Amino acid sequence: MSVLVSGSIAIDHVKTQKAAKENLLGGSASYAAIASRLFAPTGLVAIVGKDFPEEHMALLKGHDIDVSGIEVSDGDTFRWHGEYMEDMNERETLDVALNVLESWQPKVSDELQQSTSINLLANAHPLNQLAVIEQLGDKPAFTIADTMDLWIQIARDDLSKVLQEVDLLVLNDTEAKLLMETTNLVEAGRKMRDLGPDYIIIKKGEHGAMIFGDGEFFTAPAFPLDEVFDPTGAGDSFIGGFAGYLSSLGKAEFNFDDLKQALAHGTIAASFTCESFSTHALDELEKSTFDKRFADYLSYCQL
Amino acid sequence: MSVLVSGSIAIDHVKTQKAAKENLLGGSASYAAIASRLFAPTGLVAIVGKDFPEEHMALLKGHDIDVSGIEVSDGDTFRWHGEYMEDMNERETLDVALNVLESWQPKVSDELQQSTSINLLANAHPLNQLAVIEQLGDKPAFTIADTMDLWIQIARDDLSKVLQEVDLLVLNDTEAKLLMETTNLVEAGRKMRDLGPDYIIIKKGEHGAMIFGDGEFFTAPAFPLDEVFDPTGAGDSFIGGFAGYLSSLGKAEFNFDDLKQALAHGTIAASFTCESFSTHALDELEKSTFDKRFADYLSYCQL
């Protein structure tokens, strides 16, 4: 049982108030896959350019991620350049270049199609997400889509089609308010189910996440961090950890208790991502370190 | 074992985007006392003017709150007039008149001093809080102080003296950042213990609350509400419910597990306050309704 992660692979330049770093491995699918592989076999479907650093590809392979679905195309890799303010909740995109991502047509090989139990559509254009959904058919046990404000604004109709096909939609608090035109997140979460997905997760950054089902609700706080070094990719790592945990259960169907546990595991994966640039903390993460933090986390939020 | 609540009693005019109401019972001590009495005998130390509506005093008495410590003074009652925006997290104070509160000298009778196990200093000028602390001496088992941004800005030295004397400081997220000059709430909470209190609670409104102790931490979400009718007094009700629950344990000392449970009970008390103007929802609240919501709440945040 494995997770197929599709989405973006990027080369990031990130500046915080304390440090700056160039040519980092970034992108929604990179973070999600590296978090997912903590729990389950994971494959990637994405596109990079000829400029994609060999060390980044080696890193993905070193994590035993199936990279057969990564297309290396003429042109440059998708690039993102951002800066975080003193308040790490505020960030500015300084520059973004889609490059090879612009004309990407995701291709899922027969082999990847057969091995996929969880289809994780990390943040990408809804048309890319639809292309993966169509190729996988009804093979996955569970399909998850992440999205972002940009697609809500410029590709709403395509996003609506994605929502008809997925079991779970994940988005952050600002995006949920934008999509549902309300300032109340609980109302937004409940009503979003009418758009198609059985389950909705609203990510709230430092305030944790909420999941809404049919008359079901669960919320868990973020892991408390004294210092956030670089939150880039935290949301992607969250849903990657979520998908990986779910896949590790080896089930053909999931109940709400499974999703609650997955949410807690994703939360802890995301907490590590915040503690370093890029995927560095996840790269180094030992199972015992994860387990220790997970136990601490339970003591922090369970009565 | 009973709770002594000191602080403000106000006459509020409140406007939301859906309704407006005048001459409501308001003030930090009113909300806190009405929440506290759900769990334990509760007394009030406060001041009102000759204009204080008889129905409000009758309401407090009807809740079996000991009102012997409410001074009725020449002059007008403290008044607050506020408006909530479409996003209920944003509110504007349209008018505020301290009136009798300005020259208030809190007096705690011998009888109230003897019966107090929990000293709850609801939001008030730190000098008023200090006056109550001095009169109670070391009789209370536990002393809690709430505060607000105004006192951090204009009465910081007096507030520092209060912090030396209390077991627990409660404040909201904006105030915590202001007091500790940081944008990281976890850092703020941990460092605030250096100012004196053994425990710190940071209230985060719709995102719940966090409590910090000596190497101890706990956080609980807010109860999910589809619709917030009027959040005025939610924080006061939270700490009132917290104090009342603690008092109901009938202990001379409290451990961190007691405080965690108290935080959860305060959270549910606050959720009712958000569902009506003034203390109306708390006024009508039956024990069975509270218990039902508390059980739902546990299912929403416990794995």
Q: Per-residue pLDDT tens for B103-119?
A: 999 999 999 999 999 99
Say how far apart CA A218 and CA A211 lie, in whole Å: 5
Distance from CA of B202 to the nearest CA of A (A): 12
Nearest to A302 among B87, B228, B303 (CB): B303
Residue A264 three-state SS? helix
Q: Report the candidate in A226, A223, A230 with the shortest Cα–Cα distance to residue A264.
A: A223
Distance from CA of B89 to the nearest CA of A (A): 9
Q: Using an 8 Å CB-CB cutoff, list residues of chain B that contact chain A.
A: 86-89, 183-187, 190, 204, 206-208, 210, 217-221, 224-228, 260-261, 264, 298, 300-303
Amino acid in position A176: A
Residue of B nearest to A264 (CA): B303
Phi, psi at A294, each rounded to 5°: -65, -40
Helix or strand run (H / E) with residue A3: strand A2-6
pLDDT tens across B37-50, in order? Answer: 999 999 999 999 99
Domain ranges of chain B: 2-301
CB A209 within 8 A of CB A263: yes
User: Which chain A residues touch B207 with a CB distance below 8 Å?
Assistant: 204, 207-208
Give me the sign of the Cα torsion angle B278, B283, B289, B295: positive
Say how far apart CA B215 and CA A44 lie, in whole Å: 41
Helix or strand run (H / E) with residue A228: none
| Per-position DSSP letters for A8-26, written without gaps between them | --EEEEEE-SS-EEEEEEE
Mean pLDDT of A115-138: 97
Best of B88, B89, B302 to mutate (most A CBs within 10 Å, chain A): B302
Q: What is the pLDDT of residue B1?
A: 61
Nearest to A187 among B220, B226, B261 (CB): B226
What size, in residues, is chain B? 303
Distance from CA of B97 to the nearest CA of A (A): 31
Q: Which residues pair with A211 in a beta bridge?
A: A201, A218
Cβ neighbourhood burial of A276 (10 Å; 0-12, 13-18, 19+): middle
CB B261 within 8 A of CB B245: yes
pLDDT tens across A43-86, in order? Answer: 999 999 999 999 999 999 999 999 999 999 999 999 999 999 99
Contacts of B139 (CB under 8 A, 6+ apart): B113, B114, B116
Q: What is the pLDDT of residue B4?
A: 98
Residue of B nearest to A85 (CA): B183
pLDDT tens across A5-50, in order? Answer: 999 999 999 999 999 999 999 999 999 999 999 999 999 999 999 9
R_g of chain A, CA atoms, integer Å: 18
Packed helices A234-248 and A256-273: angle between N→C axes, nearest 10 degrees: 140
| Number of neighbours of residue A181 by Cβ within 10 angstroms | 8
Residue with tokens 């169509």: A134
Helix or strand run (H / E) with residue A71: strand A66-73
pLDDT band, very low/low/confident/very high, at A158 (cuts 50, 70, 90): very high
Furthest-apart CA pair in chain B: how many Å?
55
Contacts of B157 (CB under 8 A, 6+ apart): none
Select the CATH number that applies to the domain covering B2-301 from these four: 3.30.70.940, 3.40.1190.20, 3.60.9.10, 3.30.1330.10.
Answer: 3.40.1190.20
Average model confidence (pLDDT) for chain A?
A: 97
pLDDT tens across B257-300, in order? Answer: 999 999 999 999 999 999 999 999 999 999 999 999 999 999 99
Mean pLDDT of B148-170: 98
> Is the whole-model pTM more than 0.90?
yes
Residue of A nearest to B212 (CA): A300
Give me A185's structure tokens: 């997140």
- Is the complex ipTM more than 0.90? yes
Helix or strand run (H / E) with residue A41: none
Average model confidence (pLDDT) for chain B?
A: 97
Distance from CA of B216 to the nearest CA of A (A): 8
Select the CATH number that applies to the domain covering A2-140+228-301 from these four: 3.90.1170.10, 3.90.650.10, 3.40.50.460, 3.40.1190.20.
Answer: 3.40.1190.20
| Number of neighbours of residue A94 by Cβ within 10 angstroms | 12
User: Which chain B residues touch A185 with a CB distance below 8 Å?
Assistant: 206
Distances (CA, A) of A80 to A27, A127, B293: 8, 21, 46
Give me B303's structure tokens: 């794995």
Say how far apart CA B225 and CA A39 lie, in whole Å: 34
Q: What is the pLDDT of residue B162?
A: 98
Q: What is the pLDDT of residue B224?
A: 98
Mean pLDDT of A253-282: 98
Q: What is the pLDDT of residue B26?
A: 98
pLDDT tens across A165-208, in order? Answer: 999 999 999 999 999 999 999 999 999 999 999 999 999 999 99
Distance from CA of B235 to the nearest CA of A (A): 18
Mapping DSSP onto H, E and C, the string for chain B reads: CEEEEECCCEEEEEECCCCEEEEEEECHHHHHHHHHCCCCCEEEEEEEECCCCHHHHHHHHHCCCEEEEEEEECCCCEEEEEEECCCCCCEEEEEEECHHHHHCCCCCCHHHHHHEEEEEECCCCHHHHHHHHHHHCCCCCEEEEECCHHHHHHCHHHHHHHHHHCCEEEEEHHHHHHHHCCCCHHHHHHHHHHHCCCEEEEECHHHCEEEECCCCEEEECCCCCCCCCCCCCHHHHHHHHHHHHHHHCCCCCCCHHHHHHHHHHHHHHHHHHCCCCCCHHHHHCCHHHHHHHHHHHHHHHCC
Mean pLDDT of B115-142: 97
Distance from CA of B152 to the nearest CA of A (A): 21
Query: Which residues of A140-208 form beta strands (DSSP E)?
Result: 142-146, 168-172, 199-203
Q: What is the pLDDT of residue A100?
A: 98
Q: Running DSSP on this structure, what letter comes out for residue A231?
A: -
pLDDT band, very low/low/confident/very high, at A1 (cuts 50, 70, 90): low
Q: Using an 8 Å CB-CB cutoff, list residues of chain A that contact chain B.
A: 86-89, 183-187, 190, 204, 206-208, 210, 217-221, 224-228, 260-261, 264, 298, 300-303
Q: What is the pLDDT of residue B44?
A: 98
| Per-position DSSP letters for A134-147, written without gaps between them | HHHTT--SEEEEE-
Residue of A nearest to B296 (CA): A217
Say how far apart CA A114 and CA A140 lie, in whole Å: 9
Q: Report the candidate in A130, A75, A93, A77 with the shortest Cα–Cα distance to residue A108.
A: A130
More confident residue, A244 or B87: A244
Residue with tokens 């309401």: B59
Name the percent of chain A lying above pLDDT 90.
99
Residue A31 three-state SS? helix
